[in-house]
Structure 1
Amino acid sequence: MLRQITPRHLLFALAFVLLTSSVGAQASTALPSFKADPMQTSVSGLSSGAFMAVQYQVAFSKSVRGAGVVAGGPYYCAGTLGYAAAAICMGMVPFMPPNPALMLDAAQAFAASGQIDPIAGLQDDRIYVYSGTKDTVVYQQAVDATVDFFKLAGVPVQQVKYVNKMPSGHALITPKFGNTCAANAAPYISHCSVKGRGYDQAGDLLAHIYGPLNAPAATPAGQIVAFNQREFADASSGMADEGYLYVPTSCAKDSSNCKVHIALHGCEQSVAVVGNDFYSDTGYNNWAASNRLLVLYPQVNASSIPYNPKGCWDWVGYTGPAYATKAGVQLAAIKAMVDRLTGTP
C-alpha cells in the first residue's frame, strides 16, 4: 500500500536535502563536465604543492595563465637525484641554494623534445611567489631560486610578485583562520597581519594572476563536490581515491565564462590528515564565489608503494622519471581533470 505524501513530509525531505548539501562535500561521483575558459586556468600550492604548481605551470604553459608558489622551489630541482636532492631543493644546506640555471637548461631540453610546452609560453604568464621569514621547512634561499628561474625563463620582472618579508612559518596565510603567524605546524594554515590587517593570501595571488577582482563573498555560495580520482590515475600514482571541486552558484548555472584554479595542498595536508581545512578555510572559495572561478582540489595521500610517507606531491620522481613532464602521471591526471572542467577533448 502506498503511503500518502503530505506537505509535512515534503518539508522534512527538503530540510534534509538542504542540510546534506550545505555541510561538507557531497558523496564521491564522476568529476562533472563544464565549459570554463580553457585559456584562463591558473594553479597554486603550498610546499610540495608549490613545487607541483611550478611543474604544472611550466609543463602546460600554453594554457596556464599564472601560478601562485607558496614556499616552493624551482622546476625540476630534484632532477634524477630524487630524495637525495631534497635538502638542497628545500634550502636546508647553508650557502648551497638550488641552481636555477641548471633547472632552466633541463626545462629547455624537455621543451625541445616536446615533453613540455615551449618555454616561450611562460613569458606572458603572471607568477606570485611567497616565502615567510620564519619558515623552517622550505627556506628562503630555495624560494629565491624559484623567482630567479622564472626571470631566467623570460617572465618579465613586473609579472613576478615576490612576497618575502612577512614573519610567517611554513603555511598558507589567511586573515583569521589557523595557527599563529610564525607556526610551522599542522594544518599548515596560519593567520598573519600586515599593518594591522589580516593578510588574505588567496586573494593576493589570484588578483596578481587575474587582475582586479570583485570583493570576496563572506560565505561562499555554491557546492563542494567530491569526485572519483581513479578515473584519472590509479593507486600507483599515490593520488587519493577522491578529489574535491568547489562550484560557485554562478558557474553551476552557466560556466561559459568561468575560469579554473587548481589549488594543491602540501605534505600532510590532504583531507585524510586535516579534514576539510584546506578546501574550505584557505579563502579560495570566498574569492571564487564572487569571481566565477571553479576551484579544483586534487588530493594525494601517504603511501608505502609508491614511497611517499608524508602524502607529498611528486617533485622528486617517486612516480617515475617523467614526473615533471606532461607524461608525469600526476601532472597528466590534473590536466585531464582541467580538460573535463573546460570541455577540452
Structure 2
Amino acid sequence: MKALRTIVTAAFALAVLPHAAQAASALPAYAGDPTQTSVSGLSSGAFMAVQYQVAYSGSVVGAGIVAGGPYYCAAGNILNAQICMGQVPFVPPNPALMVAAATGFASLGQIDSLSNLERARIYVFSGTKDTVVYQQAVDTTVSFFKEAGVPAANVKYVNNVPAGHAFITPAFGNVCADNASPYISHCTVGKQMYDQAGALLQQIYGALTQPAQALTGSIVPFDQREFASAGTGMADTGYLYVPKSCDEGAACKVHVAFHGCKQSAAVVGDDYFAKTNYNQWADTNNILVLYPQVNASTVPFNPQGCWDWFGYTGTDYALKSGAQMKAVNAMVDRLLARP
C-alpha cells in the first residue's frame, strides 16, 4: 500500500512539477538505517551541513561541504558574513574560536559531544574560480574539523578544480568557471567529467555501486509545515528521492542535501533535487535523499533564500534547538521511523 501511495503521489507531482506544492502530503516513514545518516550542501547549504554534522554528530556519520565555512563562524552576527565567506583579503576565519564555541555548546548539552567527530568522514570542496565563498574561508572549514577531532585521514579536501561557486555534475548546468544561477556546473577533471555527488557520498560511505543510468525510484514532494512554521523561513514543500528498494522495505541510508542561496525549487525548479546526480547514486545504493527547502522571505528577513548560518531565525540557530535544525532533524527521524 505504501509503495502504491508513493508511486501515485510522485507521478502526479512530476506531472505538475511547477505546482508540486499542491501535491505535497505527509512525509512517509521508511524504517531507514539509523547508523547511516549523512548531510551535504552548497554555499549556505554547506554552512548548514557543517552545523548539522557538528550539532548532531552522535547520529551523523559524515558531511559533504561544497563552498562552505566553519561551524558558528558568524557567531549570530550578519556583519561577520564577509569574513566567513573569505571576502576580506588576508582575514580568514579563526578555526580555534569556532572550536572553542562548539566545545562550550557541547559542555552545556546544546549540541552533541565533539568526541563523536572522531569517526566522522568529511568531504570539502572549493573551486579555484569561486568568487562568492573564497578558498581562505573553506580552508578554515578543513582546519576546524581537524581541530575539532576529525582524523586527517577522514578528511578529503578538493581545492584544485577551476570551478566557480556551484555544485558540480557530470553534464548538467553552466560551464565550470561560472558563478551564476542555478549554481550548478559541469567540470572536467583528469579528462573525466567530475561527479561531485558520487565523490562526496563515497568519501562518506566508502565504495558504492555505480550510479543508475535510468532511475527506478520517485521524487516525492512532502508538506514541510508539519515540521516548521512559515516563521522559520522554510518553504511549504520539501522533496524526497525514494529508490524502489527503499519503497519495498530495504533499511536505507538517509542523506540530507541542502541547497544554496537562490537555489530552492521556487527559484530553480527541479534543478537541485533532480539534476545534481544524487538520485542516480541513491538509486543503486539504497539511499533516501532528503531535499529540505528554504525560500526567500521578508519575515524572517532572508531575501536570498539562504539557510540560516548567521542567526536570522534566532540566537540558537546553530544548536540542536535551532528552528531549522530541529525541523530537519524531525524529518530525518520520520524517515528512520517504522511505517
- 1:42 aligned to which of 32, 38, 44: 38
In the aligned structure 2, how far is the partner of 1:42 from the partner of 1:282?
17
Residue-by-residue CA offset, 1:218-263 (whole Å, 9 max, x unaligned): 12211111100000010110000000000000100013x2100000
Matching of residues 193-208 of structure 1 within 5 Å: 193-208=188-203
- 1:279 aligned to which of 268, 273, 276: 273
In the aligned structure 1, how far is the partner of 2:219 from the partner of 2:238?
10
Contact 2:66–2:125, Cα closer than 8 Å, also in 1: yes
In the aligned structure 2, how far is the partner of 1:132 from the partner of 1:157?
21
- 1:171 aligned to which of 166, 170, 176: 166
Question: One-letter code of the match for 2:109?
Answer: G
Mapped pair 1:209 → 2:204: yes
Mapped pair 1:254 → 2:249: yes
Question: One-letter code of the match for 1:71?
Answer: A
Structure 1 runs not aligned, ≥5 long: 1-15
In the aligned structure 2, how far is the partner of 1:19 from the partner of 1:339?
25
In the aligned structure 1, how far is the partner of 2:44 from the partner of 2:59?
22
Question: One-letter code of the match for 2:30?
Answer: F
Q: CA deviation at 1:196?
A: 1.6
Mapped pair 1:317 → 2:311: yes
Residue-by-residue CA offset, 1:23-57 (whole Å, 9 max, x unaligned): 44681000001100111000000000000000000
Mapped pair 1:270 → 2:264: yes
- Shifted more, 192-201 versus 51-60: the winner is 192-201
In the aligned structure 2, how far is the partner of 1:55 from the partner of 1:20?
34
| TM-score (ref. length: structure 1) | 0.93
Structure 2 runs not aligned, ≥5 long: 1-7
Q: Counterpart of 2:331?
A: 337
Mapped pair 1:92 → 2:87: yes
Q: Counterpart of 1:290?
A: 284
In the aligned structure 2, how far is the partner of 1:299 from the partner of 1:263?
10
- 1:105 aligned to which of 100, 105, 130: 100
Q: Secondary structure at the match of 1:29?
A: coil
In the aligned structure 1, how far is the partner of 2:11 from the partner of 2:104?
53
Superposed structure 1 runs of 4+ greater than 3 Å apart:
16-26
Q: What is the RMSD computed on CA atoms of the aligned residues?
A: 1.6
Question: One-letter code of the match for 1:123?
Answer: E
Question: One-letter code of the match for 2:303?
Answer: P
Q: Secondary structure at the match of 1:129?
A: strand
Q: CA deviation at 1:20?
A: 3.9
Equivalent residue pairs, number: 328
Question: One-letter code of the match for 1:289?
Answer: D
- 1:308 aligned to which of 297, 302, 307: 302
Question: One-letter code of the match for 1:339?
Answer: D
Q: CA deviation at 1:85?
A: 0.5
Q: CA deviation at 1:21?
A: 6.5
Q: Secondary structure at the match of 1:334?
A: helix
In the aligned structure 1, how far is the partner of 2:204 from the partner of 2:111?
21
Contact 1:38–1:344, Cα closer than 8 Å, also in 2: no
In the aligned structure 1, how far is the partner of 2:30 from the partner of 2:256?
15
- 1:65 aligned to which of 61, 66, 77: 61
- Give the fraction of aligned pairs with identical amino acids, expressed as a percent: 64
Contact 1:21–1:223, Cα closer than 8 Å, also in 2: no
Contact 1:175–1:192, Cα closer than 8 Å, also in 2: yes
In the aligned structure 2, how far is the partner of 1:98 from the partner of 1:171?
21
The structure number with the bigger radius of gyration is 1
Q: CA deviation at 1:83?
A: 1.1
| TM-score (ref. length: structure 2) | 0.94
